[in-house]
Amino acid sequence: MKYNLKYILPLVVVFFTACNNNQKTGNTKQQTELVFPQGEKITNANFTGTAYLQPLMDADSLNSISVGNVTFEPGARSNWHLHPAGQIILALDGKGYYQEKGSTKRILQKGDVIKCPPNVPHWHGASADTEFIQIAITGREKGPTVWLEVVRDEEYNDGVK
Ligand code: MN
């Protein structure tokens, strides 16, 4: 029997593409639904719970900002901290919280934008039952992020749910 390569080759390509896609399932959400990679698990003491960071851009001589994709599993959050040159948070997916010192906690949904002023202590993270994915754009020209105390459960659970 004679097979025509013109018909067989596309089938082979489709088969291997399908196999490859099936292997990309190690993330909290399916890889195909994510805009940016989930990155590596954050292992430092500046977070409570499980969070992941994918650095997207480092500050350099042209842009004095760094950009990173952060994924918080439900209940995970940063410690209180401040950014000497401020930070912008772009909410990509899920349901998150953001709170500045002295203000009430806010709920963040996909599409929300937060402009966090310089030197204002705050924290951000996921809601208790839904993960949260955000892009953090952080000004770097006035020094590194200053990490403060842990967000206690009473603080985390206070206010809106
Ligand atoms: Mn921040």
Whole-number Å distance, alpha carbon 29 to ligand 1 midpoint, is 23
How does pLDDT run along the chain (161 residues), one tens digit per residue? 555 656 655 555 555 455 444 444 455 666 568 899 999 999 999 999 999 999 999 999 999 999 999 999 999 999 999 999 999 999 999 999 999 999 999 999 999 999 999 999 999 999 999 999 999 999 999 999 999 999 999 999 999 88
Whole-number Å distance, alpha carbon 65 to ligand 1 midpoint, is 13
Whole-number Å distance, alpha carbon 99 to ligand 1 midpoint, is 10
pTM for the model: 0.80
Rounded distance between C-alpha atoms, residue 9 and residue 3, angstroms: 10
Token output for 51: 């969070």
Rounded distance between C-alpha atoms, residue 110 and residue 101, angstroms: 23
